Structure 1
């Protein structure tokens, strides 16, 4: 309505309230109108004359409520619902089974707390955040609070009937959340568990008088707004890539020329790195700036120096009033430049200097203190030559919180919820030095997206993830890749390396492949390089060359077990040519590796581990001392 009338949502909302137009709360009928439903499945509608529930009344806990208060059920009064055995054996069990679960689930405590879920599943927002929302809700229930979940995704666990005392099956919009908040009158609302979507509502909800539990909305805005957060880092003397907030293309081009390409374009308040890109030229910069300004219209776009060959590191932590309660430092297998959701994460970190770890811990504590963080947060870092720089900070649960909780044995979300609710007795948050390694690997769905280039960039493309444990990084890494559908090569590998630097970097891996007895197929330039280093390979022509033997024919006839295609963004023509190879590998179901660090680790792992070396153990056996 605001768009149609060229007005603002707030004005429409005030006008609607002025005329007494409010939505009604209705229950979702799970019994097909055969019997009166008493469920906690709720939704809002303007197409109703009365509410199905009374949000002001105390939650009921009487198992016989439905019989004593509903005249349609008077004929069932002879049943003893307190005696579960006699009820279970009666012919009326199916009538009451679902309703009894709802009634038993309700809490008698008037203190309500709303937890916002993650909304629809999409790239950047998936089951990881639903796990956080559910764990948060369960922890609140353990603390004798009446819980209310707002979410609109039927695929989630949070929308199961027994997860909360009340479930509003609604979109996560400002208007809807405000209506539910004003109707239920909870003592507060938790935004930090559902990912970016609920976090984006923080400022608007706060302006409307909503009590946000945990980190304050002003701090959330200071972290989400690239300009404000960069200013904070400068104020605290925390190193970060050289940056600038620029008003127009001319200023952007001047800044990029001054610091040198490549540069990173970074919009604010976006999910999964949307419209984030690396510009290697002025032409790239012009295109990407236009896209970023369209995606993030209300907030500034920041341009910063993009560092190549740098390691990326993350810290997931929980704080209370600015004091960190627990934390876990993970490293990415891939160098910086791959979105954290697409990266392969290793915990505990295997290749970090003690000095680097100390710097990260100190920076995290400094940021937590200055932003007065209460609840979960995540900070991403660059590390190069033992020099640490901050990339960004998210004042919410990250998608790696379930992973670090499983690996360490400490439930970070339970700790975070207790901190948010100001529970005095925080559970033990310390974990011992781990004698095993956990690896989180991305799951991609390129085979279902026709024509998509299966390359890893700063914008997220994965649709899921897997986590595996092992005695060392090689076992855990191989397990994780196998779990995503990658198969081990038995006879042959195809290798295409763009640029001299990539060829040199992969040399040791190529020698290892040869020692493993695998036949190497390669493109012309890669084949010549390998030959100069004493490694024999069979040359295959690229698809566009239309010559024989052609890589497309070998992929189609399943003569290649693995494709390693390492691109170089400076070689634009090779990048476009190799797209056909990458896409064909996906279309023919051939495992594909496009990142140098991932490929090197994979080759190393298959040289050290056989399938028979990979243990199958339950999670509990790893985390139990």
Structure 2
């Protein structure tokens, strides 16, 4: 029997870097809210690790792949009142336009608006029409045009494919050779959609905005600051909410930008915006008309269920607009967990493509307490005696001087790679230099029994 009045929710599919339990939390909360509203639910997902595929979670469960053909077959058979795409991360968004072309009823933000946000070229053009600042950009048409743009705008430049999750094939090119190499990767990943090249801004702060809107009008909003500078993927970054370093003027600008983009895309449901701030200027990097991996974090940190609100909005229920940016008197910090030690040859340097395999969030009276709790929860141990330091640029070495003074006062024995040790010894620190070759030398007798590589 197929009664035809169910609401169909698409899950996030397999767990992998960039798409994990955060999206399942959103899908589960969506289903629970629908059931509380008295609606019958259909869940489509194919990951036995998820809670959304528990037999008692929904009224009808389809344990099948989330592809256009499969979803359309289920839709035709079940004749549901509509499909909710925005709770399952990137995978459901990727088939939004295909479902729309087959006249499937999409609940929430329209597929045309989803495409306007996901398609890098359309979104960059939209920001230009709204007079909202963004890094200088150009759509990739030919390699020659890309090279000319990068020469004119200046390196580094960021290559950004459309319709990808966790920064797949997104890269920062520092020179012509890297640009040509990364362009071939990006066009392979994003064959049917444009690849955009934009100027990569160094030493900028990144800000995440998670919001829910109804017919383009924002109902609730959360703002999270990144501890790391822009250029580290938001899934790998340390997030702090409520924001601690943003003044009222900057927050007002962020709200204004968020409301303008929400209206332009006529968002109904959840959406996420990423911005960068430098010298008190804000620029928008991207927008996704779906939940982001930080929705569960902000919902718990601010003690307000963004997913329940988004579900009610999508289903046309009345919802009062609330201001929850300031939180509930506590600071929450989310830190990433990495598996580099288990992956032989893994590159431990973070970049615009996501690498973390988990995360921990903790509350504190202030951000320092919350950050320390979160780090200790990941298995990090506070050093007892020795600390090895290796810092890249002259600017970063300078910035660390006050911290070095604190470490010396605490009685730590400091070690450093050759260049870093030279710098700090010149600044009257007692730092022991360590020969730190990139690879182990196989010649044992040359070492005199000492381990040279740390």
TM-score where L is the length of structure 2: 0.96
- Of 396, 410, 416 in structure 2, the residue corresponding to residue 502 of structure 1 is 396
What is the match of residue 259 of structure 2? 365
State the Cα distance separating 1:554 from its structure 2 match.
Answer: 7.3
| Counterpart for residue 107 of structure 1 | none
Change (3 A) 1:494 1:548: farther
Equivalent of 2:207, from 313, 321, 329?
313
Moved more, 243-252 or 334-343: 243-252
Q: State the SS of the aligned residue for 1:312.
A: strand
- Residue among 534, 537, 540 paired with 2:431: 537
Structure with the bigger RCO (C-alpha within 8 Å, sep 6+) is 2
SS of 2:16's partner is coil
Match status 1:326 vs 2:273: no
1:286 aligned partner: 180
Q: Which residue of 1 aligns with 2:41?
A: 147
In 1, the alpha carbon distance for the partners of 2:29 and 2:189 equals: 32
The whole-number CA distance in structure 2 between the counterparts of 1:433 and 1:346 is: 11
Question: What residue number does 2:243 align with?
Answer: 349
Change (3 A) 1:498 1:427: same
**Which ranges of structure 1 fall in alignment gaps of 5 or more residues?**
1-53, 57-109, 556-625
For residues 125 and 500 of structure 1, what CA distance do their matches in structure 2 show? 37
1:120 to 14, 34, 38: 14
Q: How far apart, CA to CA, are the structure 2 residues paired with 1:203 and 1:266?
A: 20
In the alignment, is the contact (CA less than 8 A) between 1:541 and 1:550 conserved in 2?
A: no
- Bigger mean CA offset, 545-554 vs 483-492: 545-554
Deviation at 1:251, TM superposition (A): 0.7
- Give 2:381's match in structure 1, choosing from 471, 479, 487: 487
Q: Secondary structure at the match of 1:399?
A: coil
**1:409 match:** 303
- Cα deviation for residue 271 of structure 1 reads 1.1
C-alpha distance in 1 between matches for 2:360 and 2:390 = 27
8 Å Cα contact 2:14/2:46 also seen in 1: yes
Q: Which residue of 1 aligns with 2:273?
A: 379
Would you say 1:244 and 2:138 are equivalent positions? yes
Aligned partner of residue 440 in structure 1, secondary structure:
strand
| 1:163 shift after superposition | 0.6
The alignment covers a number of residue pairs equal to 448
Residue matched to 2:234: 340
* 2:107 is the alignment partner of 1:227: no
Which residue is equivalent to 1:202?
A: 96
Offset of 1:433 from its aligned partner? 4.8
Residue 89 of structure 2 is aligned to residue 191 of structure 1: no
1:298-336 Cα distance to aligned partner (Å, 9 max, x none) = 111100000000000011000000010000111000000
Distance 1:293 1:217 in 2: 23
Alpha carbons 1:543, 1:550 under 8 Å: kept? no
Q: Is the 8 A contact 1:541 1:551 kept in 2?
A: no
**C-alpha displacement of 1:499:** 2.6
Aligned residue among 335, 340, 345 for 1:451: 345
**TM-superposed deviation, 1:225:** 0.3
Asked if residue 523 in structure 1 is aligned to residue 410 in structure 2, the reply is: no
CA distance in 2, matches of 1:352, 1:237: 22
Q: Deviations over 1:437-469 (max 9, x none)?
A: 100111111122211111110000111111100
CA distance in 2, matches of 1:130, 1:293: 30
Q: Residues 154 and 524 (structure 1 numbering): CA distance in 2 closer, same or farther, change over 3 Å?
A: same
Change beyond 3 A, Cα 1:140–1:489: same
Structure 1 residue 55 corresponds to structure 2 residue 30: no
> How far 1:544 sits from its partner (Å)?
4.6
Is 1:302–2:196 an aligned residue pair?
yes
- 2 CA distance for matches of 1:178 and 1:191? 13
Secondary structure of 1:535 counterpart: coil
Q: Give yes or no for contact 2:135–2:198 (8 Å, CA) kept in 1.
A: yes
Cα distance, 1:505 vs structure 2: 1.8
Once the 2 structures are TM-superposed, how far is the Cα of residue 430 of structure 1 from its aligned partner?
3.9
SS at match of 1:435: coil
Give how far 1:543 is off.
Answer: 2.5
Separation in structure 1 between the aligned mates of residue 437 and residue 154 of structure 2, nearest angstrom: 35
Q: Secondary structure at the match of 1:497?
A: coil
Q: 1:215 aligns with which of 93, 98, 109?
A: 109
What is the distance in 1 between the residues matched to 2:305 and 2:39? 19
Q: Distance in 2 between matches of 1:428 and 1:208?
A: 34
CA separation in 1, counterparts of 2:419 and 2:125? 46
CA distance in 2, matches of 1:212, 1:552: 61
**Alignment-derived partner of residue 86 in structure 1:** none
Superposition map of 1:88-99 within 5 A: none
Residues 263 and 280 in structure 1, CA contact (< 8 A), matched pair in contact too = yes
What is the match of residue 420 of structure 1?
314
Gaps of 5+ in 2: none
Q: Secondary structure at the match of 1:203?
A: helix
Alpha-carbon distance in structure 2 between the residues aligned to 1:484 and 1:212: 39
CA deviation after TM superposition for structure 1 residue 353, in Å:
2.2
Secondary structure of the residue aligned to 1:271 is coil
Secondary structure at the counterpart of residue 125 of structure 1: coil
Query: Alignment partner of 1:422: what SS?
Result: coil
Are the equivalent residues in 1 in contact too, given 2:303–2:327 (CA < 8 A)? Answer: no
